[in-house]
Structure 1
Amino acid sequence: MLTPGSATAEPAGRITGIGGIFFKSKDPKALMAWYRDVLGVKVESWGGAALPYDAPQHPPVLVLNAVKAGSDYMEPSKREFMLNFAVDDLTAFLDRLKAKGVAILKRDDSDASGTFAWIVDPDGTKIELWEPKAEPAAN
């Protein structure tokens, strides 16, 4: 990748992004149906979802971060991972989830990077929903 002011590209053989998230479930078909029916994730015929990076209003990056063992950040989930989905309108999305009987664990409108809310899927995986702060309009 060329960066401003650099004359050479990075060498081949490097990570360019996360290609997927895989996790175990007692009932994968039912769980993916929940992601489709409740969260609106388009599930493909092969059973999973392909979420494009270039979706409208999607953040330009996917975050990968480790959380200290023993942290309560993923509670009440007992899983060792958490999913984060970017959304275009958190309030509207939460209203849809509430109408489908999904409990909202918490909402946080105070973060500099945007607004957040948390839910749990039927397998007990905590899901973080993030509406990124709008980019200032270019002049």
Structure 2
Amino acid sequence: MKKVTGIGGLFFKCKDPKAINEWYKFHLGFDTTPYGASFEWREAGDCKKKGLTQWNPFPENTKYFAPSTKDFMINYRVDDLERLVEELRKENVTIVDKIETFAYGKFVHILDLEGNKIQLWEPKDQ
């Protein structure tokens, strides 16, 4: 089973997400929204298939990364989230929450061996 297919996003804490969005927009040309920026790309094996990588600054006091104490969280794209979560449970990986489904895909959070929170995402576009 192929587990991770790519990086779906990079999330990080900052003092002022609005100012960070504006800085990246002005200096680096990011097409930012209040939620960050989306980078669209095409699958190598099927150029008709689109993918997104999300870039999101969060307020420095966000609890979204908890229980991790790190200032960042990486989102990895996966093919079959439910099957992967079953495998991870068997491997005694800490599953932080239940799989949630939204219009743009399924999500769950896990912890790595150092307690870094990781978001796994099965995009709806797959």
Q: TM-score, normalised by structure 1?
A: 0.54
> What are the residue-to-residue correspondences of 1:58-97 with 2, within 5 Å?
60-97=51-88
How many residue pairs were aligned? Answer: 88
- The 3 A distance-change label for structure 1 pair 100 and 71 is same
% identity of equivalent residues = 33
- Structure with larger RCO (C-alpha < 8 A, sep 6+): 2
The equivalences for 1:1-139 within 5 A come to 54=43, 60-134=51-125
- Measured at CA, do residues 121 and 95 of structure 1 come closer, stay the same or move farther in structure 2, by a change above 3 Å? same
Structure 1 residue runs without a partner (length 5+): 1-13, 17-52
Offset at 1:72? 0.7
Which 4+ residue blocks in structure 1 deviate beyond 2 angstroms?
53-59, 107-110
**Greater per-residue strand proportion:** 2
RMSD over aligned Cα atoms: 2.9
Structure 2: runs of 5 or more not aligned = 1-27, 31-41
Could you say if the C-alpha distance between residues 55 and 84 of structure 1 is closer, same or farther in structure 2, counting changes exceeding 3 Å?
Answer: farther
| Contact 2:73 2:119 (8 Å CA) reproduced | yes
- Normalised by the length of structure 2, the TM-score is 0.59
Rg: which structure is higher?
1
Partner of 2:19: none
TM-aligned CA distance change 1:86 to 1:59, over 3 Å: farther
Distance 1:114 1:67, change over 3 A: same
